[in-house]
Amino acid sequence: MELERKSIDLYRTQAKQATDYNAREFYEFLTEEERGHLNLLATTLEYLDHPESWYLAEEQWIVEG
């Protein structure tokens, strides 16, 4: 997850510094891809560490007494 965060920072910085429109768009695309990867990893970690709360949040089951 740390590598994903570092990649996000790198691509965001490159996008801000890019003078070419296509390069900026490309770095912004890569930033969003890395954010997706980070979100997937965080969701997977939540599932592995706390499957009950993951199911409640992701599946939105109705909890009945």
User: pLDDT value at position 54?
Assistant: 82
pLDDT tens digits for 19-41?
999 999 999 999 999 999 999 99
Of all residues in the chain, the percent with pLDDT exceeding 90 is: 74
Phi-psi region of 60 (alpha: psi -120 to 50; beta: other; left: phi over 0): left
Instruction: Report the 10 Å Cβ neighbour count for 11.
Output: 20
Interatomic CA distance for residues 36 and 32, integer angstroms: 6
Instruction: Report the 10 Å Cβ neighbour count for 14.
Output: 16
Name the residue ranges covered by the structural domains of the chain: 2-59
